[in-house]
Structure 1
Amino acid sequence: MDATLNQPASEPVEEIETYLLLEALHRRYHYDFRHYARASIRRRLRQACQQLGFASISMMQDALLHDEAVLTRLLDFLTVQVSEMFRDPGYFKAIREKVVPHLQTYPSLKIWIAGCSGGEELYSFAILLQEEGLLDRTLIYATDINPTALETAQKGIYALDRIATFTRNHQRSGGRTSLSDYYSSAYDRVVFDRKLRERVVFSDHSLANDAVFAECQFVSCRNVMIYFDRPLQDRALGLFRDSLSRRGFLGLGSKETLRFSEHADAFTEFVREEKIYRRRDA
């Protein structure tokens, strides 16, 4: 009998290519996607190959190692840039009605928007805080690993055809004013008032590599950890736990949970249906 018949199937070439590219990306540029959900990463790498004109992931890896311009373009595929202002209005309504009364007791506030993408959630928070009289005493940290996304967030410029959705979400979130009070429009773009970002610190930050940098009363990280494997989810939640002040608040995405995390005991459910948690005293 041929001995090769009893040998285990070899690892698919695409899986090997994915592993090697992620290692190269980490060693060459210090971007760590090695603990992102592998099926999602492979799908995005296929899309990147098609859009950037590479016949294989290996060919893209070679270009990545020798041309930094490929890095910028590849990051746009590896990071999720899909969002909208006041996304999931019930989340912001719960913050407005149930969290804000607690935040109002602090003389000053620090809020961390982790994975701020193009800034839609950042401006949602800034407007909510302005409407609740808290923006002037709040410092907001807006972080992301994608420099292009951070640049978009800093500019606060969005396509005009997105405003109808933003406005509807704002109204459903319990908005106290008109969203149009906070932007000006020209041609096919709207620009949000620069006063909304006067109290914002924009910074690159990786939940895979970087450490805690401030003590905050609220951390919002939504629809980011669904792309992480379990060890990286636990690392991120550990960062959030360590960055929160006593009895501080954590907001997650609708499909995310603390239930199976090693840090679950550090939090209590505050608004269960909207995935808002509160750090325990000890």
Structure 2
Amino acid sequence: MSASELQDFDIELQLLIDAIYLKYHYDFRGYAQASLRRRMRAALLRFNCSSLSQLQDRVLREPAMLTAMMDFLTVQVSDMFRDPAYYQALRRHVVPMLRTYPSLKIWIAGCSTGEEAYSMAILLREEGLLDRTLIYATDINGQALQKAEAGIYDLDRIAGFTENHRRSGGSSSLSDYYMAAYGRAVFDKSLRRNIVFSDHSLATDSVFAEVQLVSCRNVLIYFNRSLQDRAIGLFRDALCRKGFLGIGAKESLRFSDHSNDFVDVDREYRLYQKKDRAGDGL
């Protein structure tokens, strides 16, 4: 793509994102440009459109198109116990503090199709904490939330989930938590009783609860700097005094406007703790 063609593409991309915001109130204006370019090129092929202007016309005139487009506007890549060492770090640094609370609220932001939410529920059950915990699992993709709430995954993914669970320090067998039938694994409804799946946008919505832990992994990398700061500000405001924040392996608070509101708990595995009001951190 020539420089001129790239400029035209970016103009059309901006118009498409603005149109979605103005008509449907989904705000992707703060998403990273390079990532949006890649995903919209894939959308052009999927919907057999020759240009983003043609795609925009369809999105504006065919309401069902927005639902189909959400899988391209949002990134739905997840695994159970993804990056197992992160969950080991949670068990080591965060779980002992969580035990001190009579009741717990945890926010999984950008939960996609639910793998991280179920991972957290299983970890908490193994640690004896699930019965006193409410997990808020949020995303802006309605179809992803429906899949998450169903808790059904292809059976060919279970071997990878099982290995991740073992490496995360799991004290039980992952097979204790699902039933296999017809090529699918259906996770136990008892896990879902402690999870609330809900629509929430880090770009436009506000804090909805005080929580002891926010886990938002591999989401911030798709935001520009301004939207990253907004999201981290939401997490700070949602966290109780000395609450914990976990982010993705390729993400950092280092350049955020809110970096001074947190102290490192485990820098390697991106775990942070909110400073208390006196600023003494841990």
- Give 1:97 shift: 1.8
The one of 262, 266, 276 equivalent to 1:281 is: 276
1:11 and 1:225 map into 2 onto residues whose CA distance is 25
Instruction: Please say if 1:55 is aligned against 2:50.
Output: yes
Match of 1:135 among 114, 126, 130: 130
1:3-82 equivalence runs, <5 A? 12-82=7-77
Aligned to 1:235: 230
Match status 1:124 vs 2:119: yes
- 1:22 partner letter: I
Q: Give CA deviations for 1:73-123 in whole Å, capped at 9, x if unaligned.
A: 111111111110000000001111221000000000000000000000000
Alignment partner, residue 262 of structure 1:
257
**Matched residue count:** 274
Partner-residue secondary structure (3-state), 2:175: helix
Map of 1:162 onto structure 2: 157
CA distance in 2, matches of 1:192, 1:152: 12
SS in 2 for 1:219: strand
What TM-score, normalized to structure 1? 0.96
Distance in 1 of aligned mates of 2:235 and 2:158: 31
Unmatched 5+ stretches in structure 2: 278-282
> CA separation in 1, counterparts of 2:142 and 2:192?
17
Displacement after TM superposition at 1:151 (Å): 0.3
CA distance in structure 2 between the aligned counterparts of 1:88 and 1:149, rounded to whole angstroms:
21
Cα distance between partner residues in 2 of 1:272 and 1:30: 36
CA offset digits 1:207-264 (Å, max 9, x no partner): 0000000000000000000000000000000000000000000000000000000000
Cα distance in 1 for partners of 2:5, 2:266 equals 48
Runs (4+) of structure 1 exceeding 4 A deviation are none
Q: Which residue of the partner structure matches residue 92 of structure 1?
A: 87
Q: 1:58 deviation in Å? A: 0.3
Structure 1 or 2, whichever has the larger Rg, is 1
Aligned partner letter, 1:264 = S
Aligned match of 1:5? none
What aligned pairs does 1:208-219 form with structure 2 within 5 A after superposition?
A: 208-219=203-214
1:144 counterpart letter in structure 2: D
Work out the CA distance in 1 between the residues paired with 2:131 and 2:173.
Answer: 19
Please tell me whether residue 185 in structure 1 is matched to residue 153 in structure 2: no
How far apart are 1:272 and its partner, in Å?
Answer: 1.1
Match of 2:280 in 1: none
Match runs of 1:240-255 below 5 Å: 240-255=235-250
Residue 42 of structure 1 and its aligned partner are, at CA, apart by 1.2
**Residue aligned with 2:67, SS:** helix
Spell out, residue by residue over 1:176-224, the C-alpha distance to the aligned partner (whole angstroms, 9 max, x if none).
0000000000021000001001011111000000000000000000000
Please, what TM-score do these two structures have when normalized by structure 2?
0.96
How far residue 153 of structure 1 moved from its aligned partner, in angstroms, is 0.4
Distance change in 2, residues 1:81/1:247 (3 Å): same
Instruction: State the 1:148 CA deviation.
Output: 0.5
Once residues 114 and 65 of structure 1 are traced to their aligned partners in structure 2, the CA distance between those partners, rounded to angstroms, is 28
Q: 1:255 to 1:10 in 2, by over 3 A?
A: closer
Identity, % of aligned positions:
63
The Cα shift of 1:52 comes to: 1.1
1:147 to 2:142 alignment: yes
**Secondary structure at the counterpart of residue 89 of structure 2:** helix
Aligned partners of 2:230, 2:118: CA distance in 1, in Å? 27
| Shift, 1:11, TM fit | 7.7
Cα shift at 1:56: 0.8
The one-letter amino acid of 1:192's match is F
